[in-house]
């Protein structure tokens, strides 16, 4: 491939078509170049995702996500104002309304698995990370007990499995998106084809402009917290130590969720800005409610007089 041609752009190519090609590309191929100085690395898109689903599918996903969010918000508010906790204020069947519940989580997994084609009205390439964080917060905030330990362990284990799969599905959506964004922003068009670009450095999976990943330390901390809940429930020994470690992991989980949210709110590709701002704004509201609840519980513990030792 002769890299001597390096025009900024070819006028007959449609800007929107070029952008779509880059952001939906799943396979970038490199070719040999005869101009190692001006075009040391020459890439072109080898394959792209199929077309988007009809906008009606995006609308259904948007509505379902909004309902899941509102259910989480309502349960958190009720949990704050009620001294009895969510298990008493709402029957345990209400867990099915939560994003991390046994009914909603499989639907979210299906959404993320097909997320590369949900990309018009409600693009999951932009708001998918916020949906995964909604699942994180739901799983960490609500710990609905079950009458049987085995049943409780089954529900928690299914949540752990769902979160791990959701992280992988999300990466399958956002990594090609971030790779294409890097190729589009930090490359120059060679003029050989619509997606042919010259680069000064190697193009890596996920790009180097956005470092967020679904499968990350945050996922590991959330999964570790849920696994310790199972251990604490099934084993009577060393419950105090397990609780202390679990509380530490839960606090770290929220710290990393906040870090990821702030990073994505400020470093994501500059498209669908209002939608992304609304999504992460909703996440911040849930985090603030959780922290407020924790603070209120601490104040209540300090205000309650401790029994005197005899």
Question: Residue 295 has what pLDDT?
Answer: 82
Stretch among 15-19, 33-37, 93-97 having the lowest mean pLDDT: 93-97
Asked whether residue 143 carries a pLDDT value surpassing 50, the answer given is yes
pLDDT-based confidence at 296, cuts 50/70/90? Answer: confident
Question: Residue 49 has what pLDDT?
Answer: 82
Question: Residue 96 has what pLDDT?
Answer: 75
Asked whether residue 6 carries a pLDDT value surpassing 60, the answer given is no
**Average pLDDT of 215-242?**
88
* Residue 210, CA distances (Å) to 122, 151, 178 in order: 20, 40, 7
pLDDT-based confidence at 21, cuts 50/70/90? Answer: confident
Report angle CA 233, 283, 292 to the nearest 5 degrees.
65
Nearest Cα to 183, choosing from 33, 41, 11, 2? 41
| Residue 114 to residue 132: CA distance in whole angstroms | 14
Question: Residue 169 has what pLDDT?
Answer: 96
**pTM of the complete model:** 0.87
Question: Residue 166 has what pLDDT?
Answer: 96
- With a pLDDT cut of 70, the percent of the chain lying above it is 86
Residue-range domain boundaries for the chain: 55-175+213-285
Question: Residue 79 has what pLDDT?
Answer: 79
* Average pLDDT of every residue of the chain: 84
Asked whether residue 13 carries a pLDDT value surpassing 80, the answer given is no
pLDDT in tens, 167-205: 999 999 999 999 999 999 888 888 788 888 898 889 999
Please, are residues 173 and 213 in contact by the beta-carbon 8 Å criterion? no
Question: Residue 146 has what pLDDT?
Answer: 55
Does 7 or 248 have the greater pLDDT score? 248
Stretch among 123-127, 158-162, 270-274 having the lowest mean pLDDT: 270-274
């Amino acid at each position: 491939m002769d890299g001597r041609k390096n025009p900024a752009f070819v006028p007959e190519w449609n800007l929107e078509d070029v952008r779509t090609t880059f952001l939906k590309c799943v396979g970038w191929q490199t070719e040999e170049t005869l101009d190692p100085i001006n075009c040391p690395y020459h890439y072109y898109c080898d394959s792209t995702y199929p077309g988007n689903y009809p906008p009606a599918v995006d609308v259904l996903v948007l509505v379902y996500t909004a309902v899941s969010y509102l259910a989480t918000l309502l349960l958190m508010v009720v949990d704050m104002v009620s001294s009895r906790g969510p298990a008493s204020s709402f029957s345990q069947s209400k867990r099915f309304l939560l994003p991390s519940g046994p009914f909603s989580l499989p639907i979210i997994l299906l959404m993320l698995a097909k997320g590369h084609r949900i990309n018009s009205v409600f693009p999951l390439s932009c708001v998918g990370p916020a949906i995964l964080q909604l699942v994180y917060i739901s799983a960490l905030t609500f710990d609905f007990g079950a009458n049987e330990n085995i049943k409780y362990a089954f529900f928690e284990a299914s949540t752990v499995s769902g979160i791990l799969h959701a992280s992988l599905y999300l990466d399958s959506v956002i990594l090609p998106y971030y790779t294409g964004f890097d190729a589009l922003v930090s490359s120059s068009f060679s003029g050989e084809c619509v997606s042919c670009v010259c680069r000064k450095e190697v193009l890596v999976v996920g790009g180097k402009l956005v470092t967020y990943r679904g499968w990350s330390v945050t996922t590991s901390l959330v999964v570790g917290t849920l696994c310790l809940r199972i251990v604490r429930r099934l084993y009577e020994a060393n419950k105090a130590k397990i609780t202390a470690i679990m509380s530490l992991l839960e606090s770290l989980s929220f710290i990393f969720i906040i870090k990821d949210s702030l990073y994505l709110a400020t470093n994501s590709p500059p498209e669908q800005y209002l939608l992304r701002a609304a999504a992460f704004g909703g996440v911040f509201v849930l985090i603030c409610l959780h922290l407020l609840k924790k603070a209120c519980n601490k104040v209540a513990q300090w205000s309650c007089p401790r029994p005197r030792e005899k």
